Amino acid sequence: MSKPPSLDHVRNIGIVAHVDAGKTTLTERVLFYSGASYKIGEVHDGAAHMDYMAEEQAHGITITSAVTKAPWNDHLIQLVDTPGHVDFTIEVERSMRVLDGCVVVLDGVRGVEPQTETVWRQRSRFELPCLIFVNKMDRVGADYDASLNSLRKRLGAEPAPVTVPGPDDDSIIHLIDGTLLRFTGERGETVVSEPCPQAAWEAVGGHRETLLLAAAESDEALADAVLEGRQPEASQVWDALRKSTLAARCFPCFAGSALRNRGVQPLLDAVIRLLPAPLDRPPARARVPGGADELVSMDAQGDLCALAFKVQLWEGRRHVFARIYRGSLAAGEPVVIAAENGEHRREQVARVFDVDANHKNRIERAFAGQIVLLAGLRFATTGDTLCAPDHPLLLERIESREPVIALAVEPGSSEEEEKFLEVMDKIQQEDPTLRLEEDPETGQRLLRGMGELHLQIVFERLEREFNLRVRAGKPMVALRESVNSRAMGDSLFERHFEDGRRNVDLKARVQVEVNPQERGSGQRIDFQARVLPEGNSLTEDQSTAVQNGARDMLNGGPLEGAPVVDVAIRILEVEVFGAQSSPDALRAAASRATRKALMTGGGFLLHPIMDTEVVVPEENMGQVLGDLQARHGLVRDTENDRGSATIRCEAPLDELLGYTTDLRSMTQGRGQFTMQFNRFDRKG
């Protein structure tokens, strides 16, 4: 590609949802109907075009975000299919960061589910306009109205129905065009449009009114027409609905069944007509390192500004996904990775690729508005800003998540130690929520991740991609420590030792006070020390050493060596003894004083508390509720609907390890549950 694409005819969108709502199945239909793929790959057959990893095919879920393109009505849809499982939510986070709009998929039977709420919060944070596709309307128990009500109740969103289920299973009613749509052909590729029968049109009159009122929020002329009872032109409704969608005043909704090939084409039409082109989005806000803010407009002629949003090993080599916000980039051109401290790293792009799932096509140059794959970048990581060498900028970074579960791991044999460390470094570059750390007390290596499935997938990849087997211990949850009450700690540190032929004496005294804080307040160190003897003062190195000594103990508390949180440490008094009070002596004294204060204050453990939703048959509800309470679960809400019961509660993560097996046993395999990290807190 040698010239910039017409951004008016581009849509960068993501497909997001709760696990098993049908995102990948919908994406497969989009590719087939647009002509981007010659066949439909089914998830249940392990043949989906977008689920190309062996682990995705084996588990039947999406694990990594995949990028593809689909032409539709003289436009180009650049589409990202994202995971639905909570363990891989970082994939959704970094995809949302670089998209212009999204399609949220709902299960027509279940409506809004826990991970739907999570992706909705991510969408809201980036202020992405979105459409809603209510999928699986062919299933027994599917309820379009109930799904729209769940949007209002659980997300606070105002749904605007555009297509609704028709009078029979094979039809969809289009409320703007006033037509009845049927999807014929071997795979539903032919859309037959006919005037909607009067009886069916009257039956959906309430939905039509809801749609017009939502669209009229952005168009006074349309509002007048609706209030006067006049029927507006379809084009007027489309224009008004687009304004309301872009302003997030309403969220257009579409009914269908991706698996049964129904309702997908009207959704694609709406992606073009309602969702924003790159130029419709506000300019990206960047910051000059150490300076003022700067707005980055989507312009192929300006200085390069791009965001590296994902690192991926491709055919064993390191590649970086990037969204270009300004300028252009070609193979061989230098870029810098901007840094806040001004120490920018210079790199050179070796090759630029267009991407279609696991296929890449080399291109000459990429321009503003595109999502591309870059090879040759050795240092760029998730969230880095790639800039022109003479115009460094910092775009908003991508939030990572703290891992909540850990396993002790080691290579299958001692001969593979070096290979193990090298491979784990590569895997961690790909996934910011994965951490390999060493336990300072036991010397064991701990692999930390977002859940049991997350770590299981990592082990499977190590064996398949790198022929590396690892041994793993039992899961351990990430803990935190805190204190019950205000306490003091005072420590006089003295040590004498010989350094070669020289005698060394170290001596320093520090007094600290520890105070408990509210949950979620983190750590704070206040340096208000009185320095003794009177008239003395601390050098900058000594002052830093005292604070670092207190921080050392906060990073590994006295109970389990876990980080100490929700505390404030006040440095009250520092006594120095001339040259004996070196920074090392002061650091040791501060660390010991802080430890004494924490022990006196009565330390206790904080556990990861998970927002948990359990769905079981009604007849099993009592048994499951009792089991959850035995696991220190705090039940917040229960709901019965069409033979199933939904239990929403908070429960400690360590009590939920292996819960899937226990739940299946209690419900004869019919129960399911999801969980999402909420906070660190005491059990029960």
Q: 3-class SS at 423? A: helix
Domain 8-280, CATH among 3.40.50.300, 3.60.15.10, 3.30.750.24, 3.30.9.90? 3.40.50.300
In the prediction, which pLDDT does 663 show?
A: 87
Q: How far apart are the first and last CA of the chain?
A: 60
Domain boundaries, the chain: 8-280, 284-395, 405-478, 481-601, 606-681
Q: What is the pLDDT of residues 425-446, one digit of tens each?
A: 988 988 888 999 887 656 778 8
Most confident range (mean pLDDT) of 129-133, 279-283, 313-317 is 129-133
Partner residues linked to 296 by β-bridges: 284
Lowest mean pLDDT among 59-68, 177-186, 492-501: 59-68
459-468 contact pairs (CB < 8 A, 24+):
460/54, 460/55, 460/58, 461/55, 461/427, 462/423, 462/427, 464/54, 464/55, 465/313, 465/316, 466/419, 466/423, 468/411, 468/412, 468/416, 468/419, 468/420, 468/423
Is the CATH code 3.30.230.10 the one for domain 481-601?
yes
DSSP string, 531-592: EESTT----HHHHHHHHHHHHHHHHS-TTTSPPB-SEEEEEEEEEE-GGG--HHHHHHHHHH
In the prediction, which pLDDT does 359 show?
A: 81
C-alpha to C-alpha distance for 445 and 422, rounded to whole angstroms:
14
Q: Is the pLDDT of residue 47 over 60?
A: no
C-alpha to C-alpha distance for 383 and 307, rounded to whole angstroms:
6
In the prediction, which pLDDT does 592 show?
A: 95
C-alpha to C-alpha distance for 301 and 377, rounded to whole angstroms:
23
Q: What torsion do the CA atoms of 238, 240, 244, 250 make, to the nearest 10 degrees? A: -60
C-alpha to C-alpha distance for 11 and 74, rounded to whole angstroms:
11
Lowest mean pLDDT among 400-409, 615-624, 651-660: 400-409
pTM above 0.85, yes or no: no
Name the H helices within 110-151: 114-125, 144-150
Stretch 40-59: mean pLDDT, rounded? 59
Determine the residue type at 490: D
- Residue with tokens 């908003």, as numbered in its chain: 396
Stretch 67-75: mean pLDDT, rounded? 89
CATH architecture designation of domain 405-478: 2-Layer Sandwich (3.30)
In the prediction, which pLDDT does 582 show?
A: 92
> Torsion-angle region of residue 53: left (phi > 0), alpha (psi -120 to 50) or beta?
beta
Whole-number average pLDDT of the chain: 88
Q: What share of the chain is helix, strand, coil (3-state, %, to 5)?
A: 30, 35, 35
Domains 8-280 and 284-395 belong to one CATH topology: no
In the prediction, which pLDDT does 441 show?
A: 58
The answer to whether 375 and 319 have CB atoms below 8 angstroms apart is yes
Lowest mean pLDDT among 109-118, 170-179, 456-465, 499-508: 499-508
Stretch 88-107: mean pLDDT, rounded? 89
Give CA separation, 233 vs 207, 229, 404, in Å.
Answer: 17, 13, 54
Stretch 590-609: mean pLDDT, rounded? 92
C-alpha to C-alpha distance for 97 and 99, rounded to whole angstroms:
6
Q: 3-class SS at 462? A: helix
CATH number of 606-681: 3.30.70.240
CATH class of 284-395: mainly beta
**Backbone φ, ψ for residue 49 (5° rounding):** -60, -40
**Backbone φ, ψ for residue 624 (5° rounding):** -70, -40
Q: What is the pLDDT of residues 536-568, one digit of tens each?
A: 889 999 999 999 999 999 988 888 888 999 999
Partner residues linked to 409 by β-bridges: 445, 472
In the prediction, which pLDDT does 255 show?
A: 96
In the prediction, which pLDDT does 222 show?
A: 87
Stretch 475-490: mean pLDDT, rounded? 90
In the prediction, which pLDDT does 42 show?
A: 60
Q: Is the pLDDT of residue 43 over 60?
A: no
Stretch 302-327: mean pLDDT, rounded? 89
Q: 3-class SS at 660? A: helix
Q: Is the pLDDT of residue 45 over 70?
A: no
Percent of the chain whose predicted confidence (pLDDT) is above 70: 94
Stretch 649-655: mean pLDDT, rounded? 91
Partner residues linked to 374 by β-bridges: 320, 352
CA-wise closest residue to 461 among 417, 427, 414, 413: 427
Give CA separation, 228 vs 221, 222, 568, in Å.
Answer: 11, 10, 63
Question: Counting Cβ atoms within 10 Å, is residue 239 exposed (0-12), middle (13-18) or buried (19+)?
Answer: middle
**Backbone φ, ψ for residue 176 (5° rounding):** -85, -45
Within 8 A by CB and 6+ apart from 602, the residues are 483, 484, 485, 487
In the prediction, which pLDDT does 48 show?
A: 55
Within 8 A by CB and 6+ apart from 138, the residues are 169, 257, 259, 260, 262
In the prediction, which pLDDT does 437 show?
A: 87
Stretch 274-297: mean pLDDT, rounded? 89
**Backbone φ, ψ for residue 272 (5° rounding):** -70, -40
Confidence of residue 186 (pLDDT cuts 50, 70, 90): confident
Most confident range (mean pLDDT) of 69-83, 341-355, 478-492, 501-515 is 478-492
Percent of the chain whose predicted confidence (pLDDT) is above 90: 45
Lowest mean pLDDT among 4-8, 52-56, 474-478: 52-56
Stretch 372-377: mean pLDDT, rounded? 91
In the prediction, which pLDDT does 1 show?
A: 46
Cα-based angle 98, 101, 104 (whole degrees, multiple of 5): 115
Q: Is the pLDDT of residue 37 over 80?
A: no
